[in-house]
A and B are shown apart, each in its own frame.
Chain A
Amino acid sequence: MTFLDPLINGLSLGSLYALIAVGYTVVYGIVQLINFAHGEIFMVGAFGALSTWIVLGQASANLSWWMLPLMLVGGMVVGVTVAVLMERFAYRPLRHAPRLAPLITAIGISVFLQEFVRLFYGAIPGFPDAKAAVVFPQIEFFTGPAIEFGGAVIQRATFFTLGALAVSWAFLWFFVNKTKIGRAMLATSQDPDTARLMGIDVNRIITIAFAVGAALAAIAGTAHGLRYGNIDFKMGFLAGLKAFTAAVLGGIGNINGAVVGGLVLGVVESLATVYVPGQFGGAAWKDVWAFVLLIIVLVFRPQGIMGAKVVDRA
C-alpha cells in the first residue's frame, strides 16, 4: 500500500463531509442557526435515492449508469422537501426564540426522521425493512472494478464522490457570485434588515439556503450508498456531526471553508487511521480524530481555517 491510497481514500471521505458541511455553513451564514438535524437530510436523501431506484429500476434489476442521475434527482427532491418543511414549520416559528429552543427542536426532528424511516420504510409495499442496514443498488458503472491509476488503486465510487463535490462546488460558486439570488444571499448574510430594505424577501432566501444545503447533502447520501453498498437510518448522526466539525474547522459561514474543512478532516481521519501506531491506531479510533482536530483548531484558531474574525462579520 502506498501513501496515495489513504490520501485518496481521505479525499473521497472528505468530499462526503464537505458536501454535507456546506449545508451547515450556508444556513448558519444567513440565520446564525446550527441546523443539527441536517445530518438527517443526508440520511433521507440516501433513502430518497434508494426509493427512486426501487420504483424505477428494481423490477428489471436495472443497474445501468443512467439510473444514477434519476436516483440523485429523487434523493434531492426528498431531501429538499424535508429540509424546506423543517425550516418552515419547526425553525421559522422559533426565529426569535432563545438559542436553546432550535437546538432542542433539532434533536426532536432528528429522532422523528430516524424513527420514521426505521418504522415505516418497510411498511411501504415493495420497500425493504429499514430497521437494520439496507442494501443500496450497486450501479455497475460507478461501483465496478477499481481502477489503477499512477500506482494507486482508486474505487469508482471515489471518482464519483470527488466529481460530485467538484461539480457542486462550481455550481455553488456560480450561484452565489453570479446570480441575483446569490448576491441577495450574500447581502442577507451580511445584514438581514438592510437586505429587507432592498426588497429582498429574507424568508425566501432562508428557504433557498436550506434547499441548497439539502440538495448537496442528498448527493452526499447517494455517494455514501455507492461507496459503502448500504445505508441505514442512523447514518446521519455521525456523518452530520463530522460534517459540522468540518464546517467549524473551515470557518462556519464560509462556503469555501466548509469544502476545505471537509477535505482536511477526511484526509486527517484516513491518514491517522493508517499511520498512527499502537494502541491508538487503526479503525477503532477512526471517529476520534475528527474531534481531536476540532479541539486543536478551536484552541489555536477559533475562527476556523478560512473564517473571518468575528469583528469582520459584525
Chain B
Amino acid sequence: MSILEVKGVNKRFGGLQALGNVNLSVKEDTCHAIIGPNGAGKSTLLNCLVGKLIPDSGSVVFDGQSVLGRKPHEINQMGISRVFQTPEIFSDLSVIENVMIPCFAKRDGAFRMHAYEGVHQEKGIIEQAEAILADVNMLDKRHMHAASLSRGDKRRLEMAMCLVQEPRLLLLDEPTAGMARADTNNTIELLKEIRKTRKITMAIIEHDMHVVFSLADRITVLAQGTPLVEDTPENIKGHPKVREAYLGEAQV
C-alpha cells in the first residue's frame, strides 16, 4: 500500500522547469530516499507536498486524499511533518517550548482558545516533550534559548518537533547537513530506532550516501527535475546511469 502517490507533477519557475513530470510512490512503513545533484528539484518536490508550492499540473495524493489546494496546517493535521533544509524553529522560545507547540497541535488541533490554564499545568504535554528531548539527547538543554543552539542541535530540535507529532509521513530535507560525524551517526541510530518502535513512513533527501544507504529501503534519483531511476539501494549503487549522473564524484 502506498501512502503517498505523486503523479505527473510539473513546476516551472519562469523559464526554469524545476519539476518535469515527476512520479513518485512511497509505500507505507518504508524509508524512501530522494537523491540528486544540487538544484535537481528535491526541495521543490517537498514544497509541493506540504502546501508551500502548488504544482502547475499533476496530482499529490496522501492516504487517498489530495493535498493540493490545502493549507500547510491542514496538510500537517493530515499527518505529514517536514524537517526543512535550513532549520525552521522558534528561535525566540526555549527548547522545550519549541517541542511543546507540536504537542499542543497534535492534541488540540489547528486552533484552540486555551488562554486560561497555564502551560506549567500541562503535565502530560511537558512529559511528552521531555521524553522526545531525551530521545534526541537534548534534555539537558531544555531551558536554553533555541537561538543559541549549535547548527546541529537546531536540526535535532526540529527533528524532535516533527517526531513528537508521530506523523504518518515524515519528510526530511537533508537532516544531517552541517552535523559532525558523531551527530550524524546518532541521527541515523535515532531514525532507525524510531522506525522500529513507531510506524512512521519516511521520505528523506540526503547528500550523505552513508546516511542514505543506512536507512533507505528504496531510492529515487532525481536529475534536472525528472526521476532518473527508482530502485533498491543495492541496485542503485551499481546503476550506470546513476553513477554517471550523480554518484560518480561521490565515491560510494
Pairing of A with B: no
